[in-house]
Amino acid sequence: MSRTTPKPFQLAAVESGLQIFSECKRLLDISRDNTASRTAAISQHGKLLLEAPTGAGKTLIAGHIVEKFSALESVVWFWFAPFKGVTGQTASSLRAELPGLRLRELAEDRQAADSRSGDVFVSTWQTVATKVKDSRNVHRPGESNLTIEELIAALRQKKLRIGVVVDEAHHGFFSTGAETQAMKFFRETLQPEYTVLVTATPDDADITKFEKSLGLSKLNRTTINRQEPVDEGLIKEGIKCVAYFAPPGQETLVDYEDVALREGVALHRKWKAELKKLGVDLTPLMLVQVDSKDKSVERAKERLLALGFTETQIAIHTAEEPDSGLLALANDEAREVLVFKMAVALGFDAPRASTLVSMRAARDEDFGVQLVGRILRVHRKLQGRARAKTLPEILRYGYVFLADAEAQTGLDLAGQRMNKLQTKYAKVSQTTAVTMIGGNPHVQVTGSDGQVRLIPVPPPAAWPTYETAGETVARPAGDYSGFALELLTGGYAAAQELLPVEAKTPLPANSTPAVLTPRGYSYALRSNVPHRFKTQVVTPDSEVTEEDCAQKFMVSSREILHALAAKVQVQKKTLEVFTHQIEMEFTNAVMDADQAARVAFKVLIKNGSFDARELRRALLRKLKANLKELA
């Protein structure tokens, strides 16, 4: 496999990372044994966040930073991929592209004796971050292996510093909720001097929590705009998202899954024809995401077979996480369709993919970012033409067909978030200063006025504590998570005591306090709420029978057959998620027989004057008589 030549924007990102870490190394070397100085140096220059769209080469950029910096500093790296199935893909890429690195297996090779700068352990957080230390192999000592904790201590004894790369940091590492085990292991066990966080468009709230958890006053950020990799032919110019809208009153009768799948297949075959016309030996891949309902995979496969695909052309992957078998499926050009539930939408690379049909009702912005990312890459065989802008228009875009129109909102928001990224490279700023106190050098963070203190600033770990639920918990100032916990366990008044004075609010005068009972919290009924409801009882002495009702059914047999054979005309809305350009047209959709039956049943039982079972039998007799007209 030939090595990839980094693009200009990738080289600029690598150089930026090297400058940041070189400054951190300089400050660490000045005051090696001073804890406060070490904390100040790392907090200002030891963390780099790399933000770029999927397909921009984030892993390659991070790898070059690791390789080049390992030649300048004595450092061993721990590289965390989001899932076990992706570690092999990551390790293979690093081994092929970066000969200056030595890949090691954390599960089998935990010896510090022959460790050297540039060693890289590729693993997952699930392997190392666990509440029960002896439940995983890396936490158990062996005849020739140290525990992960002992390995890190031994590396430091050899004067090797620790570096960490978190690939796809938005999976299992950043969290706006409770602190993850990964974050705890990172902060308490790894305690790295150098960290590279790699992610596609993280949420700012996640970044803020990360900074607060580590006591960072600054997180160096290198951001790459979407247009940079587009111009270099690495990712597609855009993503066209298609949704369908039925006429009022007919929304529930349309088989949206059928129309989305049919149109997705038609577009996939157009892609295939265009590649053949160009003389490009490449079979495109269509992704079909089904929902989590029973038999959803089987139904999708049946429909694909009916649309002309063969058994060997259809691959199925239903594991919750990507695995090594999934990578093989993505590269097997005998497979034209990959049916999946969730795994492919989470950090998996499939450059052949150009069309995605989603039957899942997902409106989340983060999920939209992942979904778009699966079809954003340009295959290597097309990158030259993409860079030269000679590809036909249909090949310049990826396509998403949605069975749930509301999911288009999440993809639209995903496009807006990705558009916010503007190219900016992290730079070394004068946020630290070296002062001599008592003849010893100290690294200090300068204040907003540019001044430093004569007495070193204590490490961020010295946060205030408060009591909650009988346990002392350390929290950074301004974190009110204990308030929510106490609200659930001790009530409103007790929770109020955890808040600073300016944040306390009295219980509203017209509210009713909750009373804790063995069955949970109980709330008194408000005075203006009725204590009982009126019920209408229909008299059984009605003179109109179910048979009489059925005879009023005046639809002819020809109309019935026409309704079953006819298609519903739906509006097709195509949204380009990056430019927000909208195209409107009409297409035909088949009726969803199961949904129509459910609607009919609701109508059947709506009138309580008749027995639904008897009315159904009477209607069937009437229908049978009508159909005899065609005999």
How open is the CA angle 130-221-164, to the nearest 5 degrees?
A: 30
Nearest-Å Rg of the Cα atoms of the chain is: 31
The arithmetic mean of pLDDT across residues 187-206, rounded, is 84
Lowest average pLDDT, out of 99-103, 138-142, 348-352, goes to: 138-142
Contact 189, 136 (CB under 8 A): no
Q: Is residue 249 predicted with pLDDT exceeding 80?
A: no
Model pLDDT, residue 493: 54
- Each residue of 609-624: pLDDT tens digit? 777 888 888 888 887 7
| DSSP class per residue in 242-297 | EEEEPPTT-GGGB-HHHHHHHHHHHHHHHHHHHHHHHT-----EEEEE--SSTTHH
Residue 117 CB contacts under 8 Å (≥ 6 apart), including other chains: 70, 71, 73, 74, 75, 76, 160
Mean of pLDDT values over 551-577: 72
Q: Are 525 and 515 in contact (CB under 8 A)?
A: no
Contact 138, 128 (CB under 8 A): yes
| pLDDT recorded at residue 78 | 96
Six token digits for residue 272: 């295939």
Mean predicted confidence (pLDDT) in 350-360: 88
Q: Quick one: three-class SS letters along 155-167?
A: HHHCCCEEEEEEC
Q: Which residue, chain included where needed, has tokens 């076990």? A: 84
List the structure tokens of 139: 């936490």
464 pLDDT higher than 50: no
Strand residues in 426-576 grouped as ranges (E): 432-437, 440-445, 465-468, 471-474, 515-517, 520-522, 568-576
SS3 590: coil
Whether the pLDDT of residue 365 is over 60: the answer is yes
Q: What's the whole-model pTM score?
A: 0.73
pLDDT of residue 222: 93
Residues 2-22 pLDDT 10s: 688 999 999 999 999 999 999
pLDDT greater than 70 at residue 587: yes
Cα 116 to Cα 28: distance, rounded to the nearest angstrom: 19
More confident position, 376 or 545: 376
Which of 319, 316, 369, 359 minimizes the C-alpha distance to 342? 319
pLDDT(483) > 50? no
Predicted confidence (pLDDT) at residue 471 exceeds the cutoff of 80: no
Alpha carbon distance 223, 227 (integer Å): 12
Distance of alpha carbon 78 from the chain centroid: 22
**Which range in 23-37, 112-126, 405-419 is most confidently predicted, on average pLDDT?**
112-126
> At the top level of CATH, which class does the domain 230-419 belong to?
alpha beta
Looking at residue 591, the DSSP 8-state letter turns out to be B
CATH topology of domain 28-225+424-445: Rossmann fold (3.40.50)
Residues 163-196 have pLDDT tens digits of 999 988 876 676 544 567 888 888 889 999 999 9
Average pLDDT score over residue span 558-572: 68
Dihedral-angle region of residue 521 (phi above 0 means left; psi in -120 to 50 means alpha; beta otherwise): beta
Sign of the CA dihedral 210, 214, 215, 221? negative
- The residue-averaged pLDDT of 137-158 equals 84
In a 10 Å sphere around its CB, with 0-12 CB exposed, 13-18 middle and 19+ buried, how is residue 215 labelled? middle
More confident residue, 506 or 104: 104
The predicted-structure confidence for 254-269, as pLDDT tens digits, reads as follows 888 888 999 999 999 9
217-235 pLDDT tens trace? 678 999 999 999 999 999 9
pLDDT for residue 184: 84
Distance, in Å, from the CA atom of 300 to the CA atom of 295, rounded to the nearest integer, reads 9
- Residue 604 CB coordination number (10 Å): 14
| pLDDT, greater one: 359 or 365 | 359
Q: For the chain, what percent of residues have pLDDT higher than 90?
A: 31
Q: What is the pLDDT of residue 311?
A: 93
More confident residue, 562 or 355: 355
Strand (E) or helix (H) holding 212: helix 204-214
Q: How far is CA 382 from CA 8, 18, 273, 280, 287, in A?
A: 19, 32, 15, 8, 19
HSE-up of residue 503 (Cα within 13 Å, Cβ side) = 11
pLDDT, tens only, 43-93: 888 999 999 888 899 999 999 999 999 999 999 999 998 777 778 888 888
Distance CA(81)–CA(245), nearest Å, equals 40
**In 10 A of CB 437, how many CB atoms?**
13
Residue ranges, CATH 3.40.50.300, the chain: 28-225+424-445, 230-419
Q: Which two tokens stand for residue 615?
A: 């009315």
DSSP tally for the chain: helices H, then strands E: 21, 21
pLDDT of residue 480 exceeding 50, the answer is: no
- What is the distance between the alpha carbons of residues 66 and 94, in angstroms, rounded to a whole number? 10
CA–CA gap between residue 411 and residue 247 (Å, rounded): 23
The pLDDT of 128-157, averaged and rounded, is 77
484 pLDDT higher than 60: no
Task: Provide the token pair at 99.
Answer: 């000969």
Measuring CA to CA, how many Å separate 49 from each of 70, 124, 460, 576, 600? 18, 19, 20, 28, 56
Predicted local distance difference test score (pLDDT) of residue 307:
93
Specify the pLDDT at position 86.
77
Residue 411's pLDDT is 77
